Structure 1
Amino acid sequence: MTNALQIHGDDHVATLLEPVSAGDSVTAGGVTVAANMDIPKGHKIALRDIAAGAEVVKFGFPIGRATADIRAGDHVHTHNLATGLSGTLDYRYQPAERPHDAPPAARSFLGYVREDGRVGTRNEIWILPSVGCVGRTAERIAAEAGRRHAGEVDGVHGFPHPYGCSQLGDDLGATRSMLAALAAHPNAGGVLLIGLGCESNQISRLLEELPEGQRGRIRTLVAQNSADELEEGLALVAELAAEAAKVKRQPVGLDRLVLGVKCGGSDGFSGLTANPLVGRMSDLVAAAGGSVVLTEIPEIFGAEQMLMDRAESAPVFEEVVGVVNDFKNYFLSHGEPVSENPSPGNLAGGITTLEEKSLGAVQKAGHATVADVRRYGERIRRPGLTLLEAPGNDAVSSTALAASGATVILFTTGRGTPLGFPVPTVKIASNSDLAQRKPGWIDFDAGQVLSEGFETAEAALLDRIVAIASGEETAAERNGEREIAFWKRGVTL
């Protein structure tokens, strides 16, 4: 077995597939070098001499500049490589030649077809508090209702959060938009909106943001106006469950699937295995007429031109530029650099700079054309690949994916996390060691790409996605891991 992999023929470095000791031979890309020191797996080894100040190339693109002379065989990491990113940039639309679409996969899953034509992968009752004060009330109602209605619906879940009051302007508006988007989600066969009564985020205003055709599956409860909010809440959930239970799964094609793609706790293998494998799923779903949503805008910095060149039109290109530079200005306005990433876990796993992390992360979107751009709290409006504004934080960005309409989230990870979100969240390990150590967290081992190849892994992952979309539980669902988190950008009163 080879002990290193050069991803692109122009790369100056290779990623180690196993740890090496000083003096060990490493062969990659037709080049053999001797390791000059012990280097962990997942980390980079130089395949050639690189002068201080020169660009270092991986994935065929620069991932930063050498801060010292690097010899062939050296460990390339934070001690000799630094980001080249700074502020905002001027971009030019250079549409790339469109690749031939992947042939649509003739596959179907068993979904819940809603009245507006959208398809859910679950038929659940969601309890959404308008304000943090009744978050625990929502959980208590959900726990009891879940016991009472087991077997009638796929589950009853409460989603507490700390917001909805002491917020102003756009900040309050974003919280309201997120809750409205979640309340309109096709995975929710019924929704109970529960408020306290005196909060800024009034339920009457929240209802105005919901499409009229979807308000029939919404019930509301104001705790301050109720003699017993628990019993009243349970009665309302019983009404919702009775109606939701009438809807049954039926076969639908991949064109009715909405994939959210996300990475968290990435390592040096993420850009080699899990992310490009998810990219193949994105291409299959997009080619079938389905939808794919990519977010984590700060984690495309350094790779944004690749997405811009895939914009469907000049107006879409301008929207991509807008969301990227707006996010950079968000950092700069708070006195923070745009490159304050990777995380300590990323660094330990072998990722050195934000450019390197981003070049691996954007692979989750495959090669599909960027058809649309949506801002935080907005719902998708077109099939194909949509770029969604949200930060990199796992909980905030995954909640945004769900609110945008994603009915399954593919979540790649090299370090592991137990987190789950409102919709089925498929944890895909970038390396087999993680998959074997944490089987209670991981749904799919993308490390098999290195031993079995992409085609075998692609077929296996597609089977897994179809099964989960048809009702098979994810590890996070089995563990009761369900949460939401919002992006707070304003003052707190």
Structure 2
Amino acid sequence: MTHDPGHGPRMTPVTALRIHRLDNVATALADLDAGAELSIDGFDIRLTDPVARGHKVALVPIHAGAAVIKYGFPIGTATAAIAPGAHVHSHNLVTALGSAADYHYEMPDAAPPVAASPKTFQGYVRADGRVGTRNEIWIIPTVGCVGNLAARVARVAGDRHAGRVDGIHAFKHPFGCSQLGDDLGHTRALLGALAQHPNAGGVLIVGLGCESNQLGPLLDGIAPERRATIRTLSAQSVEDDEAACLAVIDELVEGCTDMPRTEVPLSKLVLGVKCGGSDGLSGLTANPLVGRMADAVATAGGKVVLTEIPEIFGAEQLLMNRAVSRTVFDETVTLVRDFKAYFIRNGEPVSENPSPGNIAGGITTLEEKSLGAVQKGGKAPVVDVQRYGGEARLPGLTLLEAPGNDAVSSTALTAAGATVILFTTGRGTPLGFPAPTLKIASNSPLAERKSGWIDFDAGQVLTAGFDDSADALLDLIAATASGTPTKAERNDERDIAIWKSGVTL
């Protein structure tokens, strides 16, 4: 299921939209007053309550205990009788999601052939054939103790080598020591994957010396053929740690200063898709528009990565139905069940979502949030499942294990190889990550109000239609992949966050 309300221009302004013919609610596209009269798909109603932009209004009587339908699927259960024209939200709608679910495998239907986009971009072709969208030097600390050292070296080296590479960046984090088992394994896998990213022409991994996350085991997880541009240094083993780090950075810069950009096809892009601070319009505008981008990249032979596994609960069967094989289906089922078990082990319900910002923006239940969120994956076949710290390997859509937290999941997307991230939002956020991250607003007021954060206004699809908006967004993606900085890059917003899943000693 992917919502895409029309391919041509939508010239007549509308005030509310019914997404699917089975829906018994519509979504307000602007703030509506009580008493307003609406005609939506043959339903003539008078609002009995004010309804804010992104919130839902009942089109027909909905009995207590009946399903509320949006996107053509139930998004929860009415807790009281709801009259036509009434506001539908947390006061009269609750989740019906539980921890147990039965999943069934179906052979996917053969997708109709789609012409691949001829779009190209100017990228950095690496020795192993992967293509970066930036040629940067990355400094990765093994442990939080040397995070400030890494940041200080990045500032000095950045001034020293300004203009010779696309940037020199350090990625601080608080972990790498006092961790055990899988928790330490997550940190090690994530940092090792970042060190192999094609946007890094050179990498310095800085250790302290006595930490749990030792340099040796971390390097053991990196393929030998990818170590040529990676250097390591233990701060406890040298007298002047800052000078020693700067000397390594000087060497790395010399090794990649003359790297040219080369024209490459869209198939060389690895696209990460993410939503954060969603609102009731995210599933109508920004997410299906990003789904168009996912389809364009996958059809061209590129890779697309979708994560935030807790935010597909309630819509997971739709992704399972696109699994290219029984093996991929089974891996998806295991991934979802493992994440639900993680919630239950920690005494939390699997439906502990949406966030306060989501709720203020009109999203009531996790089912509603998930049905909107999965649209970022378009209609591309699900070709692979990767665990946290894993790398996207195959053309098509890869499901990646990571939680919904914006910083944690976007870092995991980068570690999986994403060279551009599309981040949809209905509320706005300034966050940026190691890979260039384009912020896509679900509504035009947000794009206008926070123009310093937002790269693209997906609210325009409600008036201009999806085709023109998709063409414009694909042009922006190609320009970004070719070196045009995102708003987050211009604001020097570059951070990582690691999934902390175990005890701290």
The reply to whether TM is greater than 0.5 is yes
1:3 aligns with 2:15: yes
Distance 2:113 2:157 in 1: 46
Query: Which sits farther off after the overlay, 374-383 or 341-350?
Result: 374-383
1:207 aligns with 2:219: yes
Secondary structure, aligned partner of 1:241: helix
Indicate which of 373, 378, 388 corresponds to 1:361. Answer: 373
Q: Contact 1:103–1:284 (CA<8 Å) still a contact in 2?
A: no
Number of residue pairs matched by the alignment:
493
Distance 1:88 1:191 in 2: 44
Q: Contact 2:140–2:172 (CA<8 Å) still a contact in 1?
A: yes
Distance 1:330 1:59 in 2: 28
Secondary structure, aligned partner of 1:62: strand
In structure 1, what is the equivalent of residue 453 of structure 2? 441
In structure 1, what is the equivalent of residue 71 of structure 2? 59
Q: Deviations over 1:89-125 (max 9, x none)?
A: 2211023423324321101000000000000000000
Secondary structure, aligned partner of 1:473: coil
Query: Residues 2 and 260 from structure 1, CA distance in 2 versus in 1: closer, same or farther, beyond 3 angstroms?
Result: same
1:462 aligns with 2:496: no
Distance 1:99 1:46 in 2: 35
Q: What pairs with 1:85-484 in structure 2 (closer than 5 Å)? A: 85-484=97-496
Amino acid of the structure 1 residue aligned with 2:284: L
Query: Which sits farther off after the overlay, 92-101 or 346-355?
Result: 92-101
Q: Deviations over 1:365-413 (max 9, x none)?
A: 0001100000011111111100001000000000000001100000000
Shift of 1:343: 0.3
In structure 1, what is the equivalent of residue 57 of structure 2? 45
Q: Which runs of 5+ in 2 are unaligned?
A: 1-12
What TM-score do you get using the length of structure 2 for normalisation? 0.97
In structure 1, what is the equivalent of residue 10 of structure 2? none
Amino acid of the structure 1 residue aligned with 2:231: R
RMSD of Structure 2 on Structure 1 (CA): 0.8
Distance 1:32 1:448 in 2: 26
Distance 1:26 1:99 in 2: 38
Secondary structure, aligned partner of 1:134: helix
Amino acid of the structure 2 residue aligned with 1:9: R
Q: Contact 2:272–2:414 (CA<8 Å) still a contact in 1?
A: yes
Secondary structure, aligned partner of 2:227: helix
State the 4+ residue runs in structure 1 displaced beyond 6 angstroms. Answer: none
Shift of 1:310: 0.5
Distance 2:177 2:353 in 1: 31
Q: Contact 2:121–2:264 (CA<8 Å) still a contact in 1?
A: yes
In structure 1, what is the equivalent of residue 92 of structure 2? 80
Distance 1:421 1:365 in 2: 20
Higher RCO by CA contacts (8 Å cutoff, separation 6 or greater): 2
Distance 1:210 1:244 in 2: 20
Q: Contact 2:137–2:252 (CA<8 Å) still a contact in 1?
A: yes
Amino acid of the structure 2 residue aligned with 1:474: T
Distance 1:314 1:74 in 2: 44
Amino acid of the structure 1 residue aligned with 2:422: L
Distance 1:101 1:409 in 2: 26
Q: Deviations over 1:179-209 (max 9, x none)?
A: 1100000000000000111101111111111
Secondary structure, aligned partner of 1:252: strand
Query: Which sits farther off after the overlay, 172-181 or 19-28?
Result: 19-28
Q: Deviations over 1:216-251 (max 9, x none)?
A: 111111111111111111110010011111311000
Secondary structure, aligned partner of 1:50: coil
Q: Which runs of 5+ in 1 are unaligned?
A: none
Secondary structure, aligned partner of 1:251: strand
Q: Contact 1:3–1:27 (CA<8 Å) still a contact in 2?
A: no
Q: Contact 1:88–1:329 (CA<8 Å) still a contact in 2?
A: no
Identity value in percent: 64
Query: Which sits farther off after the overlay, 200-209 or 409-418?
Result: 200-209
Distance 2:311 2:226 in 1: 34
Distance 2:113 2:380 in 1: 8
Shift of 1:428: 0.3
Distance 1:357 1:83 in 2: 11
Shift of 1:458: 0.3
Shift of 1:453: 0.4
What TM-score do you get using the length of structure 1 for normalisation? 0.99
Distance 1:226 1:59 in 2: 60
Amino acid of the structure 2 residue aligned with 1:171: D
Amino acid of the structure 2 residue aligned with 1:263: C
Distance 2:113 2:159 in 1: 46
Q: Deviations over 1:16-54 (max 9, x none)?
A: 011111110122222120000111111000000000001
Q: Deviations over 1:286-339 (max 9, x none)?
A: 000000000000000000000000100111000000000110111011111000
Q: What pairs with 1:8-19 in structure 2 (closer than 5 Å)? A: 8-19=20-31
